[in-house]
């Protein structure tokens, strides 16, 4: 058995019937590239073979009432791929509205914790003949990097690439029983006071150091200082999904013209789209929206667990009308915020404190918080989550089918009912948007604002560098 880290387990404890903490992904496939042509049975059977070598797909949760520590992963002895892979059809005519509504319904359903925490829905009936796959994986089992790595194990660079060598299968989670879980939990629980003593000195100085940096203009935004918008409230269990595809060459052209980073441009696109969306609703705040940006620490942390993440707060400059001024503002503050994050939180501080998360306390507190709609009674912690995941620049084939688009879809939280996640792949930036349906019911209006936000940056970049070679992909 493998005990969950505190960070992994926190995504279980913080889950409520309306705050479901699974991550999703929508892949649009060209089934004609599959050798011999597409069929659901062929896709399912190939997936069944591949997951034999993927322990994350075959492990489930197990716990004991006497366990004082986090639950454990064990191998599912009754694993059956047919419980996880489903065949459905999108309603006619099979356009983006019908597909996004169907995917929103899938994202609104909680996961069965008695089974391995993943599902895939193969969606047929799209109007252009494509096949879509909507995946769901619980955040306790994946973060952005591990989720992308898992999907990469189902992909190849050629449609007829040979299967991986399964002669030596990776070690699974193993078995566990109530006594082993309880005894291991007791030993871990007994060591917590010493671990807390070691953490306190660094943590006690966090606030004074944050204040000191803020006085010098070198700090991240502080929590609870974000302006309130319509998507900052208590969320329901209903999800809306939208998506947008952008040419990566245009984004790199802007990056080169203004001497910034790709991530700066992506955040500026998000800010520009949000500004248009909020202006159209006559609710653009006078101050900048604040985004929480997940930060991967896989290459810096030595702590156990799947979720190797920290978080950074950043201003989006939505109060700045000029797109170029907004881009430079974001680039400048991104550098400041990154330095502050590394100095204040480091790679492991959040992971270390998460080890002390207690399921009864966290779970009860989260249910009370949701029931009393407390997210609407205190200042806004942050407005939304924005994440950017780098992907390969080459064509990818999912079980033999060429990937046309891949839209990552993250979770939303009480108080921040909007998530924007982007992923680069084969010369595109695929942007996935998820919201609480009641808080942002017209999510396509926000998705459709992204191309206009990019156009204004490209126009400004052309004026900035008229002699630079312009590589603008057709829309």
Q: How confident is the model at residue 167, as a pLDDT?
A: 64
The pLDDT-based confidence of 375 (bands split at 50, 70, 90) is very high
pLDDT higher than 50, residue 472: no
Domain ranges of the chain: 2-182, 201-392+408-464
pLDDT higher than 80, residue 304: no
The arithmetic mean of pLDDT across residues 43-68, rounded, is 90
Angle at 400 between CA 398 and CA 404, to 5 degrees: 55
Residue 265 burial class via C-beta count within 10 angstroms: exposed 0-12, middle 13-18, buried 19 and up: buried
Cα–Cα dist 342/353, whole Å: 16
The arithmetic mean of pLDDT across residues 18-34, rounded, is 95
- What percent of the chain stands above pLDDT 70? 93
pLDDT higher than 90, residue 152: no
Q: How confident is the model at residue 315, as a pLDDT?
A: 94
Q: pLDDT (tens digit, 9 = 90+) per residue, 316-326?
A: 999 999 999 99
HSE-CB of 6 using CA atoms within 13 angstroms: 17
Cα–Cα dist 142/188, whole Å: 23
Average pLDDT, the chain: 89
CATH number for 2-182: choose from 2.40.50.140, 3.40.50.300, 3.30.559.10, 3.30.870.10.
Answer: 3.30.559.10
Widest distance between CA atoms in the chain: 71
Which of the listed ranges 36-45, 194-203, 212-221 does the model predict with the highest average pLDDT?
36-45
Q: How confident is the model at residue 441, as a pLDDT?
A: 87
**What pTM was computed for the model?**
0.91
In the set 70, 84, 139, 328, the catalytic residue is: 139
Q: How confident is the model at residue 474, as a pLDDT?
A: 41
The pLDDT-based confidence of 334 (bands split at 50, 70, 90) is very high
HSE-CB of 322 using CA atoms within 13 angstroms: 6
The pLDDT-based confidence of 437 (bands split at 50, 70, 90) is very high
The pLDDT-based confidence of 466 (bands split at 50, 70, 90) is low
The pLDDT-based confidence of 156 (bands split at 50, 70, 90) is confident
Residue 96: Cβ within 10 Å count: 14
Q: pLDDT (tens digit, 9 = 90+) per residue, 194-215?
A: 777 777 776 667 766 777 777 7
The arithmetic mean of pLDDT across residues 167-174, rounded, is 72
Q: How confident is the model at residue 423, as a pLDDT?
A: 94
Identical topology for domains 2-182 and 201-392+408-464: yes
The arithmetic mean of pLDDT across residues 54-59, rounded, is 91
Cα–Cα dist 29/122, whole Å: 10
Residue 159 Cα distances to 30, 34, 154, 340, 397, angstroms = 11, 6, 11, 45, 6
Q: Which of 107-121, 150-164, 236-250, 441-455 has the lowest mean pLDDT?
A: 150-164
The arithmetic mean of pLDDT across residues 218-236, rounded, is 91
Strand order from edge to edge, sheet including 131-138? 85-89, 118-124, 131-138, 22-30, 401-409, 397-398, 155-156
pLDDT higher than 90, residue 471: no
Q: Are 350 and 206 in contact (CB under 8 A)?
A: no
The arithmetic mean of pLDDT across residues 15-44, rounded, is 94
Q: Which residues pair with 240 in a beta bridge?
A: 435
Per the annotation, the verdict on 139 as an active-site residue is yes
The larger pLDDT score, comparing residue 19 to residue 219, is at 19
Q: How confident is the model at residue 475, as a pLDDT?
A: 41
Which of the listed ranges 23-27, 296-300, 369-373, 394-398 does the model predict with the highest average pLDDT?
23-27
Q: How confident is the model at residue 192, as a pLDDT?
A: 74
Q: Are 86 and 105 in contact (CB under 8 A)?
A: no
Q: How confident is the model at residue 473, as a pLDDT?
A: 43
End-to-end CA distance of the chain: 50
The arithmetic mean of pLDDT across residues 127-154, rounded, is 89
pLDDT higher than 90, residue 272: yes
Domain 201-392+408-464 annotated CATH 3.30.559.30: yes
């Amino acid at each position: 058995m493998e005990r969950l880290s505190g960070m992994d387990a926190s995504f279980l404890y913080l889950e409520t019937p309306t705050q479901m903490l699974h991550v999703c992904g929508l892949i649009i496939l060209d089934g004609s590239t599959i050798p011999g042509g597409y069929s659901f049975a062929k896709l399912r059977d190939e997936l069944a073979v591949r997951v034999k070598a993927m322990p994350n797909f075959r492990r489930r949760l197990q716990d004991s009432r006497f366990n004082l520590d986090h639950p454990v992963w064990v191998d599912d002895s009754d694993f059956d791929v047919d419980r996880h892979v489903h065949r459905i059809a999108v309603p006619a005519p099979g356009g983006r509205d019908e597909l996004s509504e169907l995917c929103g319904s899938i994202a609104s359903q909680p996961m069965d914790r008695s089974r391995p925490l993943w599902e895939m829905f193969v969606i047929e009936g799209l109007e252009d003949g494509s096949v879509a796959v909507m995946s769901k994986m619980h955040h306790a089992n994946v973060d952005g990097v591990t989720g992308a790595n898992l999907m990469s194990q189902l992909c190849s660079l050629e449609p007829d690439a040979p299967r991986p060598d399964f002669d030596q299968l990776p070690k699974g989670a193993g078995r566990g029983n109530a006594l082993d879980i309880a005894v291991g939990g007791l030993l871990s629980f007994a060591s917590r006071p010493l671990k807390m003593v070691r953490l306190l000195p660094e943590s006690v100085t966090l606030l004074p150091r944050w204040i000191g940096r803020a006085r010098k203009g070198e700090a991240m935004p502080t929590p609870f200082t974000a302006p309130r918008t319509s998507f900052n409230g208590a969320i329901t269990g209903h999800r809306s999904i939208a998506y947008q595809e952008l040419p990566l060459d245009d984004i790199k052209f802007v990056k080169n013209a203004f001497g910034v980073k790709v991530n700066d441009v992506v955040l500026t696109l998000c800010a520009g789209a949000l500004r248009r969306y909020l202006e159209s609703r006559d609710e653009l705040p006078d101050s900048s929206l604040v985004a929480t940006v997940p930060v991967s620490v896989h290459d810096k942390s030595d702590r156990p667990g799947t979720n190797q993440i920290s978080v950074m707060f950043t201003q989006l400059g939505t109060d700045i009308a000029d797109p170029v001024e907004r881009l430079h503002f974001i680039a400048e503050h991104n550098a400041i915020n990154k330095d502050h994050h590394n100095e204040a939180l480091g790679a492991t501080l959040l992971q270390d404190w998460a080890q002390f998360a207690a399921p009864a306390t966290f779970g009860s507190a989260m249910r009370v918080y949701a029931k009393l709609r407390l997210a609407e009674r205190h200042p806004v912690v942050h407005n939304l989550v924005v994440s950017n995941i780098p992907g390969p620049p080459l064509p990818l084939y999912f079980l033999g089918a060429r990937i046309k688009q891949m839209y990552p879809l993250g979770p939303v939280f009480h108080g921040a009912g909007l998530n924007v996640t982007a992923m680069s792949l084969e010369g595109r930036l695929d942007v996935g948007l998820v919201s609480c349906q009641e808080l942002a019911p017209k999510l396509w209006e926000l998705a459709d604002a992204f191309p206009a936000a990019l156009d204004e940056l490209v126009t400004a970049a052309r004026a900035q560098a008229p002699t630079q070679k312009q590589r603008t992909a057709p829309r």
